[in-house]
Amino acid sequence: QKEVEQNSGPLSVPEGAIASLNCTYSDRGSQSFFWYRQYSGKSPELIMFIYSNGDKEDGRFTAQLNKASQYVSLLIRDSQPSDSATYLCAVEVGGTSYGKLTFGQGTILTVHP
C-alpha cells in the first residue's frame, strides 16, 4: 500500500462546478496535512494546510480531514480554468523527521469552459 494515495484522475469538471480531490494516508502518527498546486513546468505552491479534524475553509478552497479514516480531501468551489493543474496531497511523516513530507502521486485537474 502506498503511504499517500490520491484519486487517480485525471479529473475534468466544467467551469463553475465543485472539484473534489481525495487522499488517503497510511501513517496513523501523521498530524499535518497539506495540499499543493503545481502548474505544468512549475514548482508546487502551498494552497492549504490542515492539522485538526473537520473542515478548514479559505476562499474557494475547503480542506477536510478525518484522522480516524485516514482521509483528507480538498474541495474547490466555483472552479475556474485557472485552477487546471496537478494537485499534490502531502502528509508529514510521523515522529522526529524534521517536518519531512510524503507526497501522493498527484491528481490532474482540468476545468473546461
Which of the stretches 15-23, 45-53, 57-65, 73-81 binds another protein when contact is defined by CB under 8 A? Answer: 45-53
Which of 10, 78, 100, 112 forms a contact with another protein (CB under 8 A)? Answer: 100
- The Cα–Cα gap between 20 and 101 comes to 22
**In terms of Cα–Cα distance, which of 28, 42, 35, 21 is closest to 93?**
28
| 39 contacts another protein (rule: CB under 8 A) | no
| 110 contacts another protein (rule: CB under 8 A) | no
Q: Any bridge partners for residue 92, and if so which?
A: 101
What length is written for the chain? 113
Which of the stretches 18-26, 29-37, 60-68, 77-85 binds another protein when contact is defined by CB under 8 A? Answer: 29-37
| 106 contacts another protein (rule: CB under 8 A) | yes
| 71 contacts another protein (rule: CB under 8 A) | no
Region of 41 (left: φ > 0; alpha: ψ -120 to 50; beta: rest) is left
